[in-house]
Amino acid sequence: MKKQQAIVAASGIIILVIFYFFGNTVPPLKKSAVPSQNEGQSLDIKTILNASKTKLSPENLAYVNRLENAVVRGDVKNQQIAVFHQLSNFWKDSVENGFLPSAYYTAEAAKLENSEKSLTFAAQLFLNNLRGQDNPELKNWMANESRDLFERAGKLNPDNDSTKIGLGATYIFGSTGERPADVMKGIQAILEVT
């Protein structure tokens, strides 16, 4: 065997030993279809409401708690609608940065009323504030709320083009980039109108 062949063979064996003992021999983990603990969790509105309540004065906190516990018997649905409107107005008018609780209670009242006008109004509240939202979890929650409200309004009047455009816009502006198919779904909903 020639000297050059011996050097190449020895170099090959040394490289093989280095790769075997020091190289990465385990393939990288693939992202599983099962969501991890953090991926599957969504934003909990109760957490937001509780955090917002901590900023209230004792008098305002007592007022909010009294309203939340006001409905006990009788015409529960209509009483609950009235309470949700009162809570929404309180958070909108009396508290700085009270948009989320106000919009949440407006949406809850609209779901109970189940009228196209109130559902569309509540959905537009979320949609109008969706574009300026930087927090991905909050943006996802707002998009889901808006989407749900637009879909409910669409069931009441399937021929309303404004509802279809609003639903499409919710898919487009509510997309966090993790699901690019949502953007296409929104574009398709808007193109359906045109």
Query: Are 140 and 182 within 8 A, CB to CB?
Result: no
Choose one of 81, 113, 145: the last residue of a domain: 113
Nearest to 110 by CA among 159, 73, 77, 66: 77
Choose one of 113, 128, 144: the last residue of a domain: 113
User: Does residue 104 sit in the same domain as residue 132?
Assistant: no
Residue 12 inside a domain? The answer is: no
Residue 178 inside a domain? The answer is: yes
| pLDDT tens, residue by residue, 12-46 | 888 888 877 777 666 665 544 444 334 434 577 88
Choose one of 72, 95, 113: the last residue of a domain: 113
26 or 56, higher pLDDT: 56
141 or 185, higher pLDDT: 141
Residue 13 inside a domain? The answer is: no
Number of structural domains (the chain) is 2
Query: Are 139 and 130 within 8 A, CB to CB?
Result: yes
Domain of 78 in residue numbering reads as 42-113
As given in the structure block, the two tokens for residue 9 are: 């063979």
Residue 9 inside a domain? The answer is: no
Q: Helix/strand/coil (H, E, C) string of 59-126? A: HHHHHHHHHHCCCCCCCHHHHHHHHHHHHHHHHHHHCCCCHHHHHHHHHHHHHHHCCHHHHHHHHHHH
Say yes or no to pLDDT of 136 above 90: no
The pLDDT assigned to 118 comes to 92
Query: Are 123 and 150 within 8 A, CB to CB?
Result: yes
User: Does residue 108 sit in the same domain as residue 132?
Assistant: no
As given in the structure block, the two tokens for residue 112 are: 């109970």
Say yes or no to pLDDT of 177 above 70: no
Instruction: Count Cα neighbours of 135 within 13 Å in the Cβ-side half-sphere.
Output: 7
Taking the whole predicted model, whether its pTM rises above 0.85 is answered as: no
Residue 153 inside a domain? The answer is: yes
Measured in whole angstroms, how far is the alpha carbon of residue 107 from the centre of its chain?
A: 15
Work out the average pLDDT over 102-107: 91
User: Does residue 158 sit in the same domain as residue 193?
Assistant: yes
User: Does residue 136 sit in the same domain as residue 107?
Assistant: no
| pLDDT tens, residue by residue, 61-104 | 888 888 888 776 777 888 888 888 998 998 888 877 788 888 99
Residue 57 inside a domain? The answer is: yes
| pLDDT tens, residue by residue, 114-134 | 889 999 999 999 888 888 888
Cβ neighbours around 41 below 10 Å, total? 10
The pLDDT assigned to 54 comes to 87
Query: What is the SS3 assignment for 169?
Result: helix
The pLDDT assigned to 152 comes to 92
